[in-house]
Amino acid sequence: MDELLAGLRGIAETTRLRIVFVLSHGEFNVSELTQILGQSQPRISRHLKLMTESGLLNRHKEGSWVLFRLRDEGAGGALARTIAELLPAGDSTLSADAARLEEVRQARTERAAEFFRINAANWETLRSLHIREEEVEVAMQRLAGPGPFGTHLDLGTGTGRVLRLFAPQTAQGIGIDSSREMLAIARAAIEDARMRHLQMRHGDIFALPFPNDYADFVTIHQVLHYLDEPGRALAEAARVLKPGGRLLIVDFAPHELEQLREEQAHRRLGIAGEQMIGWLRRAGLDLMSQEVLPPPWRNGEEGLTVSIWLARAPGEAAGHAVTQTAARSE
């Protein structure tokens, strides 16, 4: 009762209702909320602090950014989501907020697209700056198992490297990416390798062009840290997985390399294990295993830690305990 009353007190103000409306569409930092709501940063920060203390919001710090989202659990989170659904869609103030919200999202998308367009040709070199891809790929194959995998979808395929990696174990492989420049590189690579059972498609990771229960195996390699809503992408991956199908995810562990936001269009500075577990649970997937690859040392500088998660859609006999493994790069 106390938690619910605190939430009611914390939400009962016009600007706070607008904040709930905006955050019902995803995760935003203070600067973005200031831009959307058209109010001063100190004022928005005060509202956010009160709403977080009232149990309505989750606050997550990544480098110099502080990100806010509606709380996923508890009476406060349930209250915030319920209020968001009750807000009048035709309200002129909320409609204006929604328009500015889309402008912020479009600016994010354009920055990322420009980065991928410029760097499509040397993408493999950029990736190699973080951690040895060969070690990551060995770990991916070990966690995925020997196959065969039937239909493999690689979401955010980039140059198609992961699709080619698992090609010997798949009957059909399809790479999805929103960057046409990346897809051109990927198509050239699979043509050179004469892998005719692989194909590339232009598409949206949040709205995949496939029916439910379509794929046996889905991979998402170093993609989630570019997304506003990783959980939504995982839910869409879960939708297209067949019962018992497997999802293999690779991404960076939390880090403090703030420059990657501007230099490489990263939206998130890594993904924590507890975040991933929550997203997978809400997507209806079971975590089977997690492996952590600590970074190597190169030229006196330590690289980024890579995490790999293997999840499975319900539908097969259980019996796979969750394991965690750390492998030190030499």
d(CA 193, CA 314): 35
> At which of 87, 109, 144 does a domain end?
87
Q: Is 105 a member of any domain?
A: no
Strands (E), 39-186: 57-62, 65-70, 151-155, 172-177
Walk along the chain (330 residues) in steps of 10 and give the mean pLDDT of each run.
Answer: 85 92 86 91 93 88 73 84 89 91 77 60 52 83 91 92 93 88 78 82 91 96 87 95 96 74 68 90 94 69 80 68 43
Token pair of 313 as six digits:
């859609």
Residues 73 and 127 in one domain: no
Q: How many domains in the chain?
A: 2
Residues 206 and 151 in one domain: yes
Residues 209 and 317 in one domain: yes
Q: Is 131 a member of any domain?
A: yes
Residues 169 and 296 in one domain: yes
Contacts of 6 (CB under 8 A, 6+ apart): 54, 55, 76
Residues 270 and 319 in one domain: yes
Residues 212 and 141 in one domain: yes
Contacts of 81 (CB under 8 A, 6+ apart): 24, 70
Which residues constitute the domain of residue 55?
Answer: 2-87
> Is 157 in contact with 185 (CB distance < 8 Å)?
no
Q: Is 109 a member of any domain?
A: no
pLDDT at 106: 77
Indicate the residue type of 25: H
Residues 83 and 127 in one domain: no
Residues 187 and 313 in one domain: yes
> Is 241 in contact with 269 (CB distance < 8 Å)?
no
pLDDT at 297: 56
Token pair of 238 as six digits:
């879960």
**Strands laid side by side in the 65-70 sheet:** 28-29, 65-70, 57-62
- Report CA-CA distances (Å) from 162 to 13, 198, 224, 265, 280: 49, 11, 15, 21, 21
- Report CA-CA distances (Å) from 55 to 33, 51, 72: 19, 6, 10
Residue 201, domain CATH: 3.40.50.150
Residues 228 and 141 in one domain: yes
Indicate the residue type of 48: L
Residues 159 and 277 in one domain: yes
pLDDT at 259: 64
pLDDT at 263: 61
d(CA 201, CA 155): 10
Compute φ and ψ for 86, nearest 5 degrees: -85, -15
- Report CA-CA distances (Å) from 93 to 11, 35, 101, 105, 239: 17, 14, 12, 18, 34
d(CA 37, CA 330): 49
Compute φ and ψ for 294, nearest 5 degrees: -60, 155
Neighbours of 188 (CB within 10 A): 12
Residues 66 and 160 in one domain: no
pLDDT at 82: 92
Prediction pTM value: 0.62
pLDDT at 265: 61
Residue 11, domain CATH: 1.10.10.10
Residues 132 and 252 in one domain: yes
Question: Angle 189-191-192 (CA atoms, 0-180°, nearest 5)?
Answer: 65
